[in-house]
Structure 1
């Protein structure tokens, strides 16, 4: 009955989504003005003369670009219980995430920002229903592979993982469809939790499955091992929808579709603790629709300038397609000029659709090549398709001083579900694909500064074992596609 009752609502949501997309630039201007007006009497607003801001140029002149470490002074004051620091009042929640140099990060979620997180997820699902007419996922069970919903306490403010916080926002009418149980979701150890999830879902009428692809893959493998079935569709014949985010799905597609027994319609999302940025609004068009009217004013900095003293800052109406941008957030949770570390590229301006291309800190430029995530994923996808191999996971790192001597190289650690028949040919074609992807890499290879890449197949389960050794198995954790040092590579070498 739910699918029939909610079909008119899905149509309303889709009309709203399309209306916002058509006026995205105006919506962004209105949000910027509203954010500045609302926060002018906060400590941050007074410190940065919000009262004098009349234009975007004024805004850029007063609001610096920061990461969490640079914003930490305001964040710590908020965490310590002070009111009206960077947003009015105190946060409703803190989303707790791992930092880099600062350790744990406490990202505020306010009464005003909560609708951005849950409302956008709802819009993505109902927009899909209205576009495709497929809504039977509402009539069966749904699973969201996520972190624990248990909350800690930070000076009276509930604190936990974003996925756990969002779990508390699920409306009562949907909770009857939701799996796993609250008790199972609270289990911290991923492997123990996964076994319980299998217990609770193996006999259920699963219609929608959501999670980060590598952990969904692990879930599928456990289900098939336990049930003795050949495919997930044998076990869940009514499975209608896969929702994912956090990583590029393409490197996992072949393995997941083999496990499922076919292609399941999917919706890609782009959530972060700092805000829900974009979601897939079309099953026929490329890219994710920017969430242009949901309490976030976006800025975009050409990725090559992000560490400059005075980088170019662009509002939405000034961006171009095909340019790699660092994405900057200003939010109704009190984040200002905040660099979340992601890079994006617009694939369309009418409407504004983008794709995530990587992380500012996840690149290889040991020799000036500046290889990014989009390039290694595109190269791997093309060669894997030609060789009909399945890749479970991979990461790339520079080998500057090879222990065997000779020229340095890029080292690719790859876990294959279905390995290539000719590994040497696979490596040669992968290197050729990288030459096509990155002109600087091409110059280094042609100039004998680098030798062609070296392929290091890992043992089955190597990446899971590595993540477990780091205490990052399951949940929203993922392996970086590439890094400019040997931290991950040297750990993986033991596998």
Structure 2
């Protein structure tokens, strides 16, 4: 163990103890953040229009500030892009995080001087909590790879603009720079496949100890490493011990990633977004991710079934219940107010407040009134995969609405690592699992309104080729698990085996 690992341990213990202390003050911290946000926000254009000076508690705040998605919030962003100051927060943002949303096109999310620490410190705290809990400080001595977007920034309204991961790349502490891979030049490559080849060349002979990225990226990286070396990743990198991932639910990818490594490594799950860093896995033992309750964000929660209501119920943290699905609404020192980020969460604990990401508010299937959500399809697929001893590379689901004689059904597009012995048997188990998860879907099947689901097998690397064909390979782009229309499904038809 080198000096860097030894010095990290006391700081890790400090952050770990501070995090545990924060678990006990979560509700008080949330109240203090709301008051602080309102105090600053009331002098902004947004604050004056919404009379924030009259806000004294959550109830009066909910009356003053409506829930908005990006499209409804966009006029304020356009004012900021036009050069105006004090629109959503004091002064002007120091960055725009540029993200290509699946429903809103390109989005420009402000990051302010006050909010940047939320993005930087939360990732750091996750690693330090892991180090303190497990005693594994050795990874700090080796090379760490952060599979990110390009750190090259453009200017929009004279504000530096780029992918969040590229922005964060500029804020990696100097003491970690010597450990970081790939090189800045390689990170700047826009074409994902060219970039991946360069990353492999730069890392294949290094002492990699930590690898971080969204699971689909990591799998592509692992596949390329195995192809070049002929060895499993865990053998190629004998000191590789920590895998950090976020952006999508890890479980559908876990089995194949573990097989690619060839042995068990610890995993740290994160819940970051351009709008904020909301939660992180603080323990290898406890279920769920710890909500980041003292980092400039005030949270609200809307019961998932009410998210499209004209006046939905808006709950503060003290009102949430374990096991309920909520749409996550944020108010932050980035200048986001009543902002619907599009994710749904479910608490697994309120002492402390730990949650799992259960889906997307706009990613569902309800073409027939069933309102199937991401959590349900993922759970149904994972159970069927375990029962049939198969591994899944990627998948998505869409409704097939029969126009002529015959019944409609859910159509699943699945890329298998190893195909089931009987696709019909696998389909039957998958359908039964989904029926057990969603009573409305079960009613439609038992009522003979829908046919049981149908699986289309996507050829090897079909999803990668599909993402390439629509210009979304790499970056922060992910395949939506669910669509309520046929756009993705129709495009994927060209990649079915």
Q: TM-score, normalised by structure 1?
A: 0.98
Provide the rounded CA distance (Å) in 1 between the counterparts of 2:444 and 2:229: 51
1:155 deviates by 2.6
CA contact (8 A) 1:241 1:266 kept: yes
Aligned to 2:162: 160
C-alpha offsets along residues 26-85 of structure 1, whole Å, 9 cap, x if unaligned? Answer: 100000000000111111111111111111111011011001111111111011110000
Aligned to 1:34: 36
CA contact (8 A) 1:300 1:328 kept: yes
Give ranges in structure 1 of 5+ residues lacking alignment: none
CA 1:393–1:103: 2 relative to 1, 3 Å: closer
Provide the rounded CA distance (Å) in 2 between the counterparts of 1:250 and 1:102: 27
Aligned to 1:287: 288
Aligned to 1:148: 150
- In the alignment, which of 17, 20, 45 is matched to residue 19 of structure 2? 17
C-alpha offsets along residues 94-150 of structure 1, whole Å, 9 cap, x if unaligned? Answer: 101124565321110001000000100000000000011011110000001110000
C-alpha offsets along residues 5-33 of structure 1, whole Å, 9 cap, x if unaligned? Answer: 11000000001111111111110000000
Aligned to 2:419: 419
Aligned to 1:182: 184
Provide the rounded CA distance (Å) in 1 between the counterparts of 2:97 and 2:307: 25
1:372 deviates by 0.4
1:214 deviates by 1.0
Provide the rounded CA distance (Å) in 2 between the counterparts of 1:103 and 1:320: 33
Provide the rounded CA distance (Å) in 2 between the counterparts of 1:102 and 1:271: 19
Aligned to 1:120: 122
RMSD: 0.9
Provide the rounded CA distance (Å) in 1 between the counterparts of 2:262 and 2:403: 42
1:212 deviates by 0.7
Task: Write the mapping of 1:184-203 to structure 2, written as runs, cut at 5 A.
Answer: 184-203=186-205
CA contact (8 A) 2:269 2:281 kept: yes
Aligned to 1:61: 63
Q: Secondary structure at the match of 2:145?
A: strand
Aligned to 1:476: 476
1:203 deviates by 0.1
Provide the rounded CA distance (Å) in 2 between the counterparts of 1:418 and 1:402: 34
Provide the rounded CA distance (Å) in 2 between the counterparts of 1:61 and 1:90: 27
Q: Secondary structure at the match of 2:75?
A: helix
Q: TM-score, normalised by structure 2?
A: 0.98
- In the alignment, which of 45, 48, 58 is matched to residue 47 of structure 2? 45
- In the alignment, which of 133, 151, 159 is matched to residue 135 of structure 2? 133
Provide the rounded CA distance (Å) in 2 between the counterparts of 1:228 and 1:348: 43
Aligned to 2:78: 76
Q: Secondary structure at the match of 2:202?
A: helix
CA contact (8 A) 1:69 1:101 kept: no
Q: Secondary structure at the match of 1:105?
A: strand
CA contact (8 A) 2:365 2:484 kept: yes
1:245 deviates by 0.2
Aligned to 1:464: 464
1:274 deviates by 0.3
State how many pairs are aligned: 493
Provide the rounded CA distance (Å) in 2 between the counterparts of 1:119 and 1:285: 21
CA contact (8 A) 2:366 2:372 kept: yes
Q: Secondary structure at the match of 1:299?
A: strand
CA contact (8 A) 1:145 1:475 kept: no
Aligned to 1:388: 389
1:481 deviates by 0.6
CA contact (8 A) 1:143 1:179 kept: yes
CA contact (8 A) 1:79 1:106 kept: no
CA contact (8 A) 1:108 1:334 kept: yes
1:332 deviates by 0.1
Matched, 1:348 2:349: yes
1:335 deviates by 0.4
